[in-house]
Amino acid sequence: MALIRFEVQGFRNLEPTAVEFSPGVNVIHGANAAGKTSLLEAIHFLARARSFATTRVPRLVQRGRADGLWVRGEVDVAGSVHRLGVGWREHRVQVRLNGGDVGALSEAAWLLPVQVINTEAQRLLTDGPPVRRSFLNWGVFHVEHRFRDDWRRYQRALRQRNAALRVGDARLAAAWEPELASAGEAVDGARQRFLETLNGSFQERAAAWLGGVPMGWRYRRGWSGEQGLAEALATGRERELQQGYTLYGPHRADLRLLAEGVDAAWRLSRGQQKLAVIALRLAEVDRLLSAGGARPLVLVDDLPAELDSAHRRRVLDALFGTQAQVFVTSIERDALPSLPEARVFHVEHGIYRREA
Ligand SMILES: Nc1ncnc2c1ncn2[C@@H]1O[C@H](COP(=O)(O)OP(=O)(O)OP(=O)(O)O)[C@@H](O)[C@H]1O
C-alpha cells in the first residue's frame, strides 16, 4: 500500500498541483508559512476525512473559495490502484472511491492507515484519556477486523442505556446491559491483545532513546478489579441512575505511560515525552506491518523541534527503517540527513514541486 499520486484543490494555501510521491520516504522542505503542514494535513484529510490540526473542516477551505475543497489520491494496494477522493462540498464531507460515492469514510479507512508525529506529539501523554483511547482504537481497528463491529455495537448499546438512565428507567437500562457487556468485553479484549503485541518494539526503542529510564504502561480497562462488565454494570446501576450516564466500560478506559513507575507526563522532559510517544506510535506502525494489512503512512511534521541532533538522527533512522511510507517536513533541507532513496519536495507560497 502506498499513496502514489496526489492532488489538491482549494485546500488552505496549496496551489492545485499533482505530484507523485515515493512509496518510501518523502521529504518536504520550505520556509515558514510555505505550506508544509498544509500538505501533510491534506494527506491526512484524504486518509481520515479530518485534519490533525483543527476539528473544523471549513477552516481547511482556501480563503475566498466558495466551492469547497477536494483532495484526491491514487493508492497502490499490492499492484492494484484505488482512486480515493475526499472533499468538503455543500457543507458536508464527501468521499469517493474508484468513481463511486462512499457513505462513510470508514468504508475506505482501511486503505490509508495514517499516523502523525508533530510538535504536539507529547499531548498523547498530557491530554485526557480520549486521545489515548483513539490511539488504541486506531491500531486495533487496523489489525482486528471484528473490532469495528464490536465498537459500533458497543456505542449503540451505550447510547441506548444512557438514554434510559437519563429518564430514570432502570428496567430499560438493565435490558441493554447484556449487549453492552458482551460488546464491551470484546472491545476490551481486543485492546489488551493489541497492547501486548506493542510492548517489545516499544521497549526496544524507548531503551535506546531515553537513556535507560525504565518505561512501562498501565492500562485501565474502564471498570474495576476482577468483575466482569455485566456485573459492574448491574452493581453500578443505582449510582448511574443518579448520574444519568454509564460510568463503567471501555469508553472510560485509559492507557498511561509510566517512567520509573510514575506517570511519564510528570517524570520525563518534553523532549523525552516526545521520544516516548514516537516510540509508542512506531510500535503501532510495526504492529500493523507485521499484521500484513495495509501499510501505514507516517506524517512527521517539524521533527527538529525539541530534539537534539543525535536523537533526531535516531528517530529518523527508526522511521526510515520501518516499511511505512514516510513524509517528513523540515524548514531546512539540511536539518535532515540526506537519503539517496528519498524523494524531495520543495514548497514555496503553497506551490509544491519535486526537486530534481
Ligand atoms: N484556509 C486557508 N486559506 C488560505 N491560506 C491559509 C488557510 N489556512 C492557513 N493558510 C495559510 O497557509 C500558510 C501555510 O501554512 P502552513 O502551516 O502549511 O505553513 P508551514 O510551511 O508548515 O510553516 P511553518 O514552518 O511556519 O510551520 C500560512 O500562511 C497560513 O496562514
CA of 32 to the centre of ligand 1 (A): 8
> Atom 24 in ligand 1: which residue has the minimum CA distance?
32
Q: Is the dihedral of CA 48, 97, 70, 15 positive or negative?
A: positive
Report how far residue 346's alpha carbon sits from residue 142's, in angstroms, rounded to the nearest whole number.
32
For residue 321 the three cell numbers come to 527503517
The segments of the chain whose pLDDT lies below 50 read none
Q: Which atom of ligand 1 is nearest to the CA of 30?
A: 21
Q: Is 36 in the pocket of ligand 1 (CB under 6 A)?
A: yes
Residues that constitute the known binding site: 30-37
Q: Which atom of ligand 1 is nearest to the CA of 329?
A: 22
SS (H, E, C) the chain: CEEEEEEEECECCCCCCEEECCCCEEEEECCCCCCHHHHHHHHHHHHHCCCCCCCCHHHHECCCCCCCEEEEEEEEECCEEEEEEEEEECCEEEEEECCEEECCHHHCCCCCCEEEECCCCCHHHHCCHHHHHHHHHHHHHHHCCCHHHHHHHHHHHHHHHHHHHHCCCHHHHHHCHHHHHHHHHHHHHHHHHHHHHHHHHHHHHHHHHCCCCCEEEEEECCCCCCCCHHHHHHHHHHHHHHHCCCCCCHHHCEEEEEECCEEHHHHCCHHHHHHHHHHHHHHHHHHHHHHCCCCCEEEECCCCCCCCHHHHHHHHHHHHHCCCEEEEEECCHHHCCCCCCCEEEEEECCEEEECC
Q: What is the pLDDT of residue 196?
A: 96
> Atom 28 in ligand 1: which residue has the minimum CA distance?
33
> Atom 11 in ligand 1: which residue has the minimum CA distance?
13
User: Probe ligand 1: pick from 8, 11, 12, max atoms within 8 Å of CB?
Assistant: 12
Residues that constitute the known binding site for ATP: 30-37
Domains in the chain and their CATH numbers? 1-113+294-355 (3.40.50.300), 128-268 (1.20.1050.90)
Q: Is 10 in the pocket of ligand 1 (CB under 6 A)?
A: no
Q: Which residue has the cell 524548514?
A: 331
pLDDT in tens, 236-260: 999 999 999 999 999 999 999 999 9
Q: Is 33 in the pocket of ligand 1 (CB under 6 A)?
A: yes
Q: Is 119 in the pocket of ligand 1 (CB under 6 A)?
A: no
CA of 83 to the centre of ligand 1 (A): 27
N- to C-terminal Cα separation, the chain: 25
Q: Is 68 in the pocket of ligand 1 (CB under 6 A)?
A: no
Q: What is the pLDDT of residue 1?
A: 85
CA of 164 to the centre of ligand 1 (A): 46
Report how far residue 244's alpha carbon sits from residue 237's, in angstroms, rounded to the nearest whole number.
10
User: Probe ligand 1: pick from 8, 9, 11, 13, max atoms within 8 Å of CB?
Assistant: 13
Pairing of strands 92-97, 100-102: antiparallel
For residue 176 the three cell numbers come to 441493554
Report how far residue 166's alpha carbon sits from residue 170's, in angstroms, rounded to the nearest whole number.
10
Q: Count the alpha carbons within 13 Å of 163 in the hemisphere toward its beta carbon.
A: 9
For residue 277 the three cell numbers come to 510517544
Q: What is the pLDDT of residue 293?
A: 78
Q: Which atom of ligand 1 is nearest to the CA of 65?
A: 3
> Atom 19 in ligand 1: which residue has the minimum CA distance?
33
Q: What is the pLDDT of residue 336?
A: 82
Report how far residue 158's alpha carbon sits from residue 285's, in angstroms, rounded to the nearest whole number.
30
Q: Is 331 in the pocket of ligand 1 (CB under 6 A)?
A: yes
pLDDT in tens, 126-176: 999 999 999 999 999 999 989 999 999 999 999 999 999 999 999 999 999
